[in-house]
């Protein structure tokens, strides 16, 4: 289960509930984010995304492949991820360093992530 919305700073926020995610759930989230991104782009605003993955289970190989295409599909400007889980940080940082997810950074708290997105 995901919650996707546009906050008062025009940042798309994604919150992931605990439990495994299917590729179909991930695809639905991407669809919702793309719709908000298209709205922002149409208004001449950047596409900034905050994704709280702190409750999310470690992604499967298939989910990692879907996740690595998000940037290309959405033409986003910045993508901030938040988690305190060490294993999840390692996976996300590896994806970023491997060039699978660019314009992205993983953070230990929401406040730092929002500051980076606004910079």
Give the model confidence (pLDDT) of 73-93 as tens digits.
Answer: 677 899 898 888 777 777 777
pLDDT computed for residue 100 by the predictor: 56
Nearest to residue 71, comparing CAs of 88, 51, 55, 57?
A: 51
Burial tier of 24 (Cβ tally within 10 Å: 0-12, 13-18, 19+): exposed
pLDDT computed for residue 70 by the predictor: 62
Q: Is the pLDDT of residue 46 over 70?
A: yes
Per the structure, how many domains does the chain have? 1
Q: What is the pTM of this model?
A: 0.81
Rounded Cα gap, residues 20 and 17, in angstroms: 9
Q: What is the CATH number of the domain that holds 19?
A: 3.30.750.24
**Where does the pLDDT of residue 95 fall: very low under 50, low under 70, confident under 90, or very high at 90 and above?**
low
The domain of 11 spans 2-118
């Amino acid at each position: 289960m995901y919650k996707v919305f546009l906050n008062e700073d025009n940042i798309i926020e994604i919150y992931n509930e605990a439990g495994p995610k299917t590729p179909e759930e991930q695809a639905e989230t991407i669809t919702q984010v793309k719709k908000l991104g298209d709205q922002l782009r149409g208004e001449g605003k950047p596409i900034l995304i905050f994704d709280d993955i702190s409750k999310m289970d470690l992604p499967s190989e298939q989910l990692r492949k879907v996740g690595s295409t998000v940037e290309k599909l959405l033409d986003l400007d910045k993508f901030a991820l938040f988690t305190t889980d060490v294993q999840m940080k390692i996976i996300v940082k590896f994806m970023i360093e491997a060039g699978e997810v660019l314009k992205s950074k993983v953070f230990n708290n929401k406040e730092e992530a929002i500051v980076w997105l606004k910079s």
